[in-house]
Amino acid sequence: MGKRPTRLPRWLADELEEHMLINGYPADERLPTETELAETYRVSRQVVREAARLLEDRGLVHISPGRGMTVAAIDTAAIASRYRSALRRDQAGFDQLMQLRVMSEPDMTALAAQARTDDDIGRMGDILGGISTRLDDYLACLDADLEFHMAVAAATQNPFVTTFVQPINTVLRELYREPIGYLATQEDTLREHRAIADAIAAGDPEAARSAAATHLGRVQSDAIRLVGDDTGTDAADTINPLPTMRS
């Protein structure tokens, strides 16, 4: 155990977090009971309860009546919710989201070209092959588009990358709300995705980076067709509007 500081709940939360990481607790694994933790760490049950709340705030555990503390799965929904909140509050729009992608995805794609496996290459090929004859199907194209970017993220072999990309995909699914305009871009998307996949398969980081930058630049130029006239902060107005408050 680490040195016990004055702020016992934070100390205990740090100790439990380290214990979970070292022992590789799987998602939904039950942790020791409040009484057991109090006895093991020689603290009060109130300290255990406060530490548990800190771990819950960190997204590491769930606390439920009857089950106590269980290990939480990695959850990107909270990150996507924050992105939605920024959009709803007129703090950001599609343009800003694309700026984030332009800053990150070319380097991510270059890493994928260095780290990809045969399974990754096969997954990308399956996605592109499956959608090539369905470019008139809006939902199928949207699914394939986002799935392809997740496949590239997975090919980096870096779990932080997939955790970063997933909430962006969640918000993009809601922003791409112009089916006719979206479908009009799909031949370009398929061609650009193939160029990215080919560069990754060839193990060529610079070609992969360039192909990703070309793709994202074209998406930026097609913003109005993809998300409508409101590409800035007002683009959030039609995303899952909040329910009307009743008095």
Domain 8-71 has CATH 1.10.10.10: yes
Helices 186-201, 205-221: axis angle to 10 degrees equals 170
Entry pTM: 0.67
Within the chain, all domains assigned CATH 1.20.120.530 are found at 77-238
CATH topology of domain 77-238: Four Helix Bundle (Hemerythrin (Met), subunit A) (1.20.120)
- Long-range CB pairs of 220-224 (<8 Å, 24+ gap) are 220/95, 220/98, 220/102, 222/181, 222/185, 222/188, 223/94, 223/95, 223/98, 224/181
Separation between Cα atoms, residue 232 and residue 237, nearest integer Å:
11
Within the chain, all domains assigned CATH 1.10.10.10 are found at 8-71
Q: Tens of pLDDT along the chain (247 residues)?
A: 555 555 899 999 999 998 888 888 888 889 999 999 999 999 999 999 999 999 988 878 889 888 889 988 766 677 777 777 777 667 678 888 999 999 999 999 999 999 999 999 999 999 999 999 999 999 999 999 999 999 999 999 998 898 889 899 988 988 888 899 999 999 999 999 999 999 999 999 999 999 999 999 999 999 998 987 655 544 444 334 333 333 3
